[in-house]
Chain A
Amino acid sequence: MNMTYDRGCRPDADDADCLCAYCAGNAEALRHLVQRYRSLLYGYAYALCGNGAEADDIFQETWLRVIRHAARFRAGNFKGWLLRIAHNVAIDRIRKKRGEVAYDRLENQSEAFHLTDAGPSPAASCETADRHREILRQVGLLPLPQREVFLLRTLSALSFREIAKIQKVSINTALGRMHYAVNRLRETLTARGEKQ
């Protein structure tokens, strides 16, 4: 057995080693990756589309594409690669529903975001549950490109350079979107807090 194959079998092996081991036929190595990015990828998909069923589909299709194209991954940032695939899957699905709309033209489509959720946990108080719902609703009201930059930055801590690469825009555009998203969320959430 080679070293890469060995390292890829361990849960603490790094992403590239896991994928390399998977390409060599070790199915267990991919399971480690799925578990490692389960909550990040699902959270990104869920917060992007606000819909559990849709998030399920994006999550599944993303991993199926990873499986299909694993050999194409070149040494680098696996997380960035994974989220780029997820972004493409999400955009494909949105375009399928809304027709051939350019990504930037989705700025005013945020009303299509319908929040569904798995319901509050039994331990959560009514007030906490309301707060959670409101946060997700406000994130969902952001225009899609801003929402995505915000999610990629906050959930996955990707660099703006990588986010810009995913959205195929300049780094300044990505930074601008983040700026608008944060300002808007700050305003709406603060205003709501003051009301209460």
Chain B
Amino acid sequence: MKAIWRSKKTPPAAQYAVEDDKSLEQLKSLLEEALEARMGGPSGAVMQKIHDASVAAAGKRRLPAPSPWWRPAAAALLIAAALSPVFFLVRNTHEARQSVPTEIGPYQAVANILCLLTVDTEDQLWEVSSLDPGSERRQLSDWLLEYQGFSETPEIILSPADHGQGETRWHSIPWSWDRTHV
């Protein structure tokens, strides 16, 4: 009995051949006609809200337009060119810090960099900050002799104009040396 009841409640699909029913087509056209005549449509405010939301969401999803193939390569070259002095400086700073005794102080590291950078220049003019005319000058001389291969003490002349001009004094140190020792 239960099986029969079930078959009536949920009959097989073939039992409902509603697709072939002409009255269904009539119902469909009547419904469409009625809806078209009476329902109007979504309000302008609703359409505007959907539009605004879709534009806002699309803006977040928008992907950048693909660029020509050469643009990334050119950009990489430009960046490399711009950064190469920095790499050079960083490398030499590192080397300088490795070779300079810590007790000499940081300014010698700067001096070392300048030495490396200007090794082919005929007349050297160094500018180092906070160079004290006394002990630091001596330390620099010792360091140049010991670590930079100078055979004799280079002449270190402090620019007289810069003496006692405050904390940011800069000193010119013209000097010469035997290149073969460098």
**Residues of A in contact with B (beta carbons under 8 Å apart):** 1, 22-27, 30-31, 34, 38-39, 42-43, 46-47, 52, 55-56, 59-60, 63-64, 67-68, 70, 117-121, 124, 128-129, 131-133, 135-136, 139, 151, 154-155, 160, 170-173, 175-176, 178-179, 182, 185-186, 189
Chain B residues whose C-beta falls within 8 Å of the C-beta of A119 in the assembled complex: 38
Residue of A nearest to B29 (CB): A154
Given A27-B55, A64-B50, A170-B10, check contact A1 B39 (CB 8 Å).
no
Q: Which 7 A-B pairs have the closest CB atoms?
A: A25-B62, A118-B40, A132-B34, A27-B58, A117-B38, A154-B28, A179-B16
Chain A residues whose C-beta falls within 8 Å of the C-beta of B82 in the assembled complex: none
Chain B residues whose C-beta falls within 8 Å of the C-beta of A22 in the assembled complex: 54, 58, 61
> What secondary structure prevails in chain A residues at the interface with B?
helix
Residue pair B50, A60 in contact (C-beta under 8 Å)? yes
Interface residues on B, range: 35 or more
Q: Give Cα A56–Cα B31 distance, bound, in whole angstroms.
A: 19
Contact of A175 among B16, B42, B43, B63 (CB under 8 A): B16
Contact of A128 among B18, B37, B57 (CB under 8 A): B37
Interface centre among A22, A23, A175 (most CB of B within 10 A): A175
Given A60-B46, A154-B28, check contact A43 B54 (CB 8 Å).
no
